[in-house]
A = this chain, B = another copy of it.
Amino acid sequence: MAKEKKLVEAITSMEDDFAQWYTDVVKKAELIDYSAVKGCMIIKPDGYAIWENIQHELDRRFKETGVENVYMPMFIPESLLEKEKDHVEGFAPEVAWVTQGGLNTLQERLCVRPTSETLFCDFYRNLIQSYRDLPKVYNQWCSVVRWEKETRPFLRSREFLWQEGHTAHATAEEAEERTIQMLNLYADFCEDFLAMPVVRGRKTEKEKFAGAEDTYTIEALMHDGKALQSGTSHNFGDGFAKAFGIQYTDKENKLQYVYQTSWGMTTRLIGAIIMVHGDNEGLVLPPKVAPTQVMVIPIQMQKEGVLDKAKEVKERLAKVCRVKLDDSDKTPGWKFSEQEMRGIPLRVELGPKDIAANQCVVVRRDTREKIQVSLDELESRIPELLEAVQKDMFARAKAHRDAHIWDAHNYEELRETAENKPGFIRGMWCGDQACEDKIKEDFAVTSRCMPFDDQEQISDVCVCCGKPAHKLVYWGKAY
């Protein structure tokens, strides 16, 4: 019991210390463990099952748009990494280098992939010869390494899991279309599946991906008012194609360069789920992504017939949702706390009185609401409740997000907001990087994105320098 007690007691409240609350949840909900390798995490069964659900659903959505999966080597020869100038400058300072293979020193060192643009380009250079070979819409699921100095589980770790899509197209228009298509796919996935509202937009020159012509992003708002970049989609134009010599013969038999994109989502999403939905009792998982959606907990389990009935309920529910039965020898109270800590969306309480009344008590993790459900209606009511939880969680997260978007029209308003109001700050920007730098320097606030869906001009001058400005920017403190 000592272990369980600790589980429930030791969680810091998010109002006291949000960072510590996050660390507590990650550990106590048994999502990760620390490893012998600094900055690399062990993803435990509950954490990995969330990733499997994300992966399964994203992969299904990818394939509907014609994506094919491949697997590229995890190593990149230094000379290949260096082929595109901006790209190598962006990544070289943070890669891990293999310098010895077996008992020998390598002639050329190999970096462990931080991302695979260069490998895909090298591959496409050979693969694509004619317009008939286009488009190529490939993706891989793998792990990547970035030698970060400060690390936090899921949010920033030296190794993380992700998918990286890499495409090649005949025209610039088609590449742009695919870039936006994947950004929208990401946004829909976050909203539908993770119940997490996002802002879609374009990154500024300063914030875009190393080597990209344009980077698009989805930004989500965490419970503490900080932004989390949750997925990015890059249009490379023909820059990589020119650096790597990826050319095809068009219908008129002329040599042309291809146009490329890449797009990725990572295990960082698990951090986002925690920080968007979690509360002071622990994790709260949206039903669609929850490895276990319903936990059946028998009350007075020693009484005749209770455990049998609980098993029967579990078997019946297994046909309509992902359900488990907790028949361990812990007290019901501990089981409730554990189910809450692990974020399981519904628990079904079933005791002798419930059985006598042919009912059970269903408790929602998100609202704590208790609902009496007739055992005759289990198979219809539980899926309905799961749907309601999913829908309500999105609505609450959206209301929270919308209540934390502030407009700033000048530098004083920006200062006032950045210092006192957690959330996104909307402010006009003149387009000069000096203003971005100054805002970051003064308030630790960065440009998150220039939204698509907002042609609104909230003023006609830059929130920083006061010069004429036409671009609306979402600013925010970021993870």
Contact = CB atoms under 8 A, between A and B. Distances in A.
Contacts of A94: 102
Interface in A434-452: none
Contacts of A392: none
Given A93-B103, A119-B36, A122-B35, A42 B73 contact: yes
Question: Which size class do A's interface residues fall under?
Answer: 35 or more
A93 to B, nearest CB: 6
A75 B159 contact: yes
A315 interface: no
A45 interface: yes
A49 B69 contact: yes
A461 interface: no
A184 B164 CA distance: 36
Given A97-B100, A119-B36, A74 B43 contact: no
Copies in the complex: 2
Contacts of A36: 73, 76-77, 80, 119, 122
A246 to B, nearest CB: 14
A83 to B, nearest CB: 10
Given A42-B70, A96-B101, A101-B158, 17 more contacts: A33-B127, A42-B73, A43-B71, A44-B70, A45-B69, A45-B70, A48-B69, A48-B71, A71-B143, A71-B161, A74-B143, A74-B159, A96-B102, A96-B110, A97-B100, A97-B101, A102-B149
In the A-B complex, the 4 residue pairs with the closest CB atoms: A40-B73, A45-B68, A102-B147, A97-B100
Interface of A: 3, 33, 35-37, 40-45, 48-49, 51-52, 68-77, 80, 93-103, 109-110, 112, 119, 122-123, 126-127, 129, 138, 142-143, 145, 147, 149, 158-159, 161
20 contacts: A3-B129, A35-B119, A35-B122, A36-B73, A36-B76, A36-B119, A37-B75, A40-B75, A41-B73, A44-B70, A45-B69, A48-B68, A71-B143, A74-B159, A75-B159, A94-B102, A96-B101, A97-B98, A97-B100, A97-B101
